[in-house]
Structure 1
Amino acid sequence: MQFEGVLTKMETENGSPIQYYLILESNFINVNQLLDKNVTLKFIKYQCLNCGLDRPIFRQGFCKSCFFEVPQAADWVMRPELSKAHLDQEDRDLEFEKKVQIQPHVVYLANSSNIKVGVTRKSQVPTRWIDQGAHEAIEIVEVPNRYLAGITEVALKDHISDKTNWRTMLKNEIKDEDLVAWRNELKQFIPEEAKPYYIENNTETNLEFPVLQYPIKPKSLNLEKAIEYTGVLKGIKGQYLIFEDQTVFNIRGNEGLYVGISVL
């Protein structure tokens, strides 16, 4: 089987295990079906996710000029507390910002390499947790806009991490935590504006990833430098492909690369 197209974040479907799909221009791949098969990845060119031109990718799948222009890459995306659409204030594109920011958001705890706090749109639960490789997660608050979620996350970051160690996550060096107890403990630190949205009674969500073999010493594949790589696929976790020789490849981290994919 041979495929070709620009890389974008894998789509997922929660199940036992989670199903992963790589969407290409004229086809899609159920990545789970590639487990235990020889997979070749070949870098062909760049294709910016905005302008479509063959320009080096700067960040988030965009070339440098697009990254500093498109609303999808504005500062409020990574720092929700900077959201201002609820005040009718434009950053790059008010119509887009209102559509994304003024909708239900959740602040959550996720356990991937450790317990971390994060923000996502309610519509992205549990997709966001899957993308982070979390094996368990729970919502803390559900608020009506991104700004309230952002200031809640900032307040909680003083008491719990907001980062994931990708190597620990991929090695599966994790332990189960009582996320309900953590949620209850962190309640006292929620800002006054968000306290009415605290979720009192919910349970954690558990996630099962399709992994046959976890790497002991994961090494990240830089496809732009290697140009071509072949390995036996042994697992998928977060947005990473895990290969038998300990090589791991971050699909989301390589958005905007136009690649060839061969399967034996």
Structure 2
Amino acid sequence: MQYQGVLRKMQTEIGNPIQYYLLFDGDFLNLNQVINKNLKIRFIGHQCLNCGEDRPIYRQGFCKNCFFDIPSAGDWIMRPELSTAHLDQEDRDLEYEKKVQLQPHIVYLANSSTIKVGVTRKTQVPTRWIDQGAHEAIEIVEVPNRYLAGITEVALKDHIGDKTNWRKMLTNDVVDEDLVEQRNKLRQYIPKEATDYFIENNKETHLEFPVLQYPTKVKSLNLDKTPVYQGILKGIKGQYLIFEDNTVFNIRSNEGYVIGLEIS
């Protein structure tokens, strides 16, 4: 089987295990079905996910010009507390910002390497947790806009981490935690503006990833340095492909790269 196209983050479907899909123009591949098969990845070029031009990818699948211009790459994406649509104030495109920011958002705890706090749109639960490689997660608050979620995350970060150790996550060096207990401990630190949105009676969500073999020492595949790679796929976790020789390939960080994919 052969595929060619621009990389976008893998689409997922909740299940036991989670199902992963690579989408190409007019075609798709269920990656679960090719675990234990040989994959050959060949770098072809770039295609900015916004303008479509063959330009070097700067961040998030966009070329440098687009990254500093389009509303979907504004600073409030990574720092929700900077959201201003609720004040009717524009950053780059107020119509777009209202559409994204003025909808229900979740502040959550996720355990992928250690417990971390994060923010996502309600519509992205549990997708966001899957993308982070979390094996368990729980909602803390559900607020009506991104700004309230952002200031809540900022307040909680003083008491719990907000980063994932991706190497630890990929080696599966993780410990189950009582997220209900941790959520309840953090309740006292939620900002006054968001206290009424605390979720009291929910349970942890547990996620199972399709992995036959975890790497013992992670080696990250960089297509700019290694334009052709071949290996046996052993699993998928987060947005990473895991290969038999301990190589891992982060699909998300390679969005906008055009590849050829051969499966044998």
TM-score, normalised with respect to structure 1? 1.00
Structure 2: how far apart are the matches of 1:61 and 1:144?
A: 28
The match for 2:23 is: 23
The match for 1:165 is: 165
Is residue 72 of structure 2 the alignment partner of residue 66 of structure 1?
A: no
Structure 1: how far apart are the matches of 2:255 and 2:105?
A: 25
Shift in Å, 1:99: 0.4
The match for 1:9 is: 9
- Paired residue secondary structure (1:40): strand
Structure 2: how far apart are the matches of 1:238 and 1:142?
A: 23
The match for 1:262 is: 262
Structure 2: how far apart are the matches of 1:71 and 1:7?
A: 21
The match for 2:208 is: 208
Structure 2: how far apart are the matches of 1:200 and 1:57?
A: 43
Shift in Å, 1:225: 1.5
Shift in Å, 1:144: 0.1
Shift in Å, 1:178: 0.2
- Paired residue secondary structure (2:26): coil
Shift in Å, 1:26: 1.7
How many residue pairs get aligned? The number is: 264
Structure 1: how far apart are the matches of 2:235 and 2:114?
A: 20
Structure 1: how far apart are the matches of 2:118 and 2:128?
A: 9
The match for 1:41 is: 41
Shift in Å, 1:93: 0.6
Unaligned 5+ segments in structure 2 are: none
The match for 1:91 is: 91
Structure 2: how far apart are the matches of 1:94 and 1:34?
A: 43
One-letter amino acid of the structure 1 residue matched with residue 129 of structure 2: W
One-letter amino acid of the structure 1 residue matched with residue 156 of structure 2: L
The match for 2:188 is: 188
The match for 2:148 is: 148
The match for 1:234 is: 234
- Paired residue secondary structure (2:241): strand
One-letter amino acid of the structure 1 residue matched with residue 62 of structure 2: F
Structure 2: how far apart are the matches of 1:261 and 1:255?
A: 15
- Paired residue secondary structure (2:180): helix
Per-residue CA deviations over 1:215-237 (Å, capped at 9, x if unaligned) read: 00011000122110000000000
Per-residue CA deviations over 1:22-79 (Å, capped at 9, x if unaligned) read: 0111210001011000001100000000000000000000000000001111000000
Per-residue CA deviations over 1:90-111 (Å, capped at 9, x if unaligned) read: 0001111000000000000000
Structure 2: how far apart are the matches of 1:234 and 1:207?
A: 18
Is residue 212 of structure 2 the alignment partner of residue 179 of structure 1?
A: no
Q: Percent of aligned positions with the same letter in both sequences?
A: 73
Structure 2: how far apart are the matches of 1:98 and 1:34?
A: 40
Shift in Å, 1:131: 0.1
Structure 2: how far apart are the matches of 1:220 and 1:73?
A: 25
- Paired residue secondary structure (1:9): coil
One-letter amino acid of the structure 2 residue matched with residue 174 of structure 1: V
TM-score, normalised with respect to structure 2? 1.00
Structure 1: how far apart are the matches of 2:249 and 2:205?
A: 26
Per-residue CA deviations over 1:91-140 (Å, capped at 9, x if unaligned) read: 00111100000000000000000000000000000000000000000000
Structure 1: how far apart are the matches of 2:94 and 2:249?
A: 35
The match for 1:125 is: 125
Instruction: Kindly report structure 1 stretches of 4+ aligned residues shifted beyond 4 Å.
Output: none
Per-residue CA deviations over 1:148-177 (Å, capped at 9, x if unaligned) read: 000000000000000000000000000000
Unaligned 5+ segments in structure 1 are: none
- Paired residue secondary structure (1:223): coil
Structure 1: how far apart are the matches of 2:223 and 2:241?
A: 13
